Structure 1
Amino acid sequence: MSSIDGIGVSDQVHVHLSAIADAVDGLCATDLTALPDGELTDTLRRLERSLRRASAVGHNLIVETVERSLPGKLGHKTVNKLLVGVLRISAADASARVTAAKSLGTWHALSGQPLPADLPETAAAQRDGAIGPDHARAVREVIRKIPHAVSSSDVAVAEEILADLARSATPEDVEKAGHDLLAYLNPDGDLTDGKDRKRLRGIRLGRQDQNLMTPISGHLDPETRAMLEPILAKWARPGMNNPDDPESPTGDAEHPHVDRDKLAAAAGRDTRTAAQRNHDAIKEALRALLGSGVLGSHRGLPVTAIITMTLDQLEHATGVATTASGGILPIRDALKMAERSHPVLVLFDHNGRPLHLGRSKRLATADQRLALIAADRGCTRPGCDAPATMTAVHHVRDWSKGGATDIGGLALGCDACHALIHDGPGGWHTRTAPKGTEYAGRTEWIPPPHIDPVQRPRINHRHHPKELLDRARRKAQARRETDAGQRRDQSKQHHARASAGSNGREEIP
């Protein structure tokens, strides 16, 4: 049995586990009602960090169990069944733990040499307590979906991006950002091209069940989704087209005939889920379409999507474009849609911000909103994935405090995030990133102390996944250059010592 500082490994583990048990006993016996408000959230953070780090220990325990063939020795067919029997956990929990250990644990070669984890940056983040099992699962699922044709170096960069994002975001944010990252790893759709999408497209209506309900399933191609999203954004808005509320307005939420006060009241009564609102919106839209007579004279629906692409993408017809609803579609499909849409040109400065569009009134103009949709693409609060169609124009410096309605002082924010901006306890604040910083001109959100005691300004990268990719590549390049410099220094020191030793031997008679 190996030992460190004269203490056997078994004794060390026993001491550490006893300390954990004593600490938990102490916390369980503590009257938490006496904790001040300011310390309660800090206690939650510290406990969560310890639990996350404990999960990393669990991974390595599973690794040891597998590498020692312990399940077979104890009469279990698999390590999963051993965990179920020993820990009395569910089969699903055991499977999740083993899967995590495979990609995050420290495995060993036959020589006993430790091998790097399959997801090294994610494993490091969990050992630090910065991410939990759900974060790691989200990263693992994205990496699993990367096509085999993508180079191993790009896969490594992608894992680094997601692990870095997970340190400051939720698992849902990681998953959603991963979808965008997958699109950028295969921007031209050459691995899932137009032929594949044509083959996969379809909507299936199942048989009516005993409740006369019809299940629906299928796949929409990018162009169809891009046309559907703006319709749902207006017709599926809370309070609109609610069949259970006789006072609910019908049709398009932006139509002049819609009473704003009546809509706000209906939204307050609306208890439908997002899926139910989508259903009711499509139902009402189909009713309006059938009653309009348009099917008798037109072959298709007019395109109403707002699409954002760069000049380079337009010139080369490659890459992916984004819609105001947060969707992604290949440039080729976007150009096909643009042939039948009203063109809108937005000019940007070198920082990717729209050029000056000023206004002396409080409300932003339609042109200003279009510019913000193209620049911000969605809510600017860090971690929020609300698309541009679900946002309002926000004054970075409040209008009541002298903020002007100029394009440089405006940003997009969804209703929920906008409500977080206030001067009271727990309030967020916004500002424009100053010149000379990495994201000059972008909107920075400053969290309250209970979120971040240091209150570091944050940028939302959710709608700009390429920024994460570029940042990770710069970090990786800097790390490689640092490692190369250290190796050169070590080589010089080695040659210097060898030279000194050689000179010394020559002087010996």
Structure 2
Amino acid sequence: MDRLTAALDDLAAEDLSGRFGPQLLDRLRPLLVASNRLAAEVIRTVRECEVTSAAEHDGQKAMASWLRGHARLSPAAASRMVRSGRALAQLPAVAEAATAGAITAEAVAVIAPVAAPGNVAAAEAQQVDLAGVDTTLAEVAASRPHAELRQVVDHYLARLDPDGPEPDPTEGRSLVFVTHADGSVGFRGELDAVGGEKFQAAVESIVQASRPAGDMRTRAQQSADALVQLADNQLASGQLPVLRTVKPHVIVRIDLTDLVDPATGPGAATTGLGATISAARARWLACDGNVSRIVIGPDGELLDLGRRHRVVPPPLRRAVEYRDRGCVFAGCDAPASWCDVHHLVHWADGGETSLENSALLCERHHTKVHHGFRVERDTSGRWHTYRPDGTEILILPRSTAEPERSRTG
């Protein structure tokens, strides 16, 4: 690893500004091969970590969770890497090509479904020569365009089960949200025929019920507004399931000075899921919502409620959510809505129900801290997580001067 780091340092130190196109391409080609080889080693190591339950060392249940928290991968990328590791363990020809740098990590991810247990079992039942398939896929991935590899894999999987049983409609459903840098939210999803019909009927009912004269919105804008209105209707009805003893609602955090200032105040408020909005937008939401005052300090609202309140009351929970944002366990990305308020000093040991003695922890990590792991908040407001042996869990990257800690409070 030291030699690899030194080689990367040497490459990064090279000045590329004076080189021409052919020289740069000659440099790029071996770098791409090296990148493929390095990606294969990462995937292979992730697989061994999964086999040996290495993530448990840092208090995580699975490698996908560890990769999200410690390597800061997206959920999709983390799951894809884990599946790719399992595939390389099942497909030696593909693994050899990946190790040699002949195929990319993206190609391995496309091939990975071939090695899924259900597909392997189907191949064995039909006496398919999986070794031959492995060799063919390695050759296609190394020599043909990526789109052709995807077609070959899709064709193979379709031939494994050309008819198949009547599918469970819920298995094909998916909905993924992505929060962009400006706080806007994108999403993509798939629904079965019946589920899609229900969804479109609900949206269309709102679209057709709200068609004011002079409406200049596009059809796409009308549908998006209808979807938001459906959410508004459900939230306002009070019929949605309770989240951690509280009805689901939109949370906006804003300083009092920004709330009362008539200026627009861009970037002055934060939503419960982390998006940044203007003070004007926050004031608009406050017109039809409840405003709760949270003051961190000796002169504000009483947050230290004493031992009489073993169950955390809503005002205190709001204060803890405001401070912690989500699970404070190192490497965990669980949002506040998934979390319990944990007593740092247990109730039975004299711990008070107060802001200073509270921390947000998801269900898994709440259990972990009751079985040897420990979280602490230092005087600067930064959370630290310790294993049962007393060593601290640190999050990548770790600089030589100052290791990065788990989470800022």
The interval holding the TM-score normalised by the smaller chain is: 0.3 to 0.5
- Tell me the TM-score normalized by structure 1: 0.36
Larger radius of gyration: 1
TM-score, with length taken from structure 2: 0.43
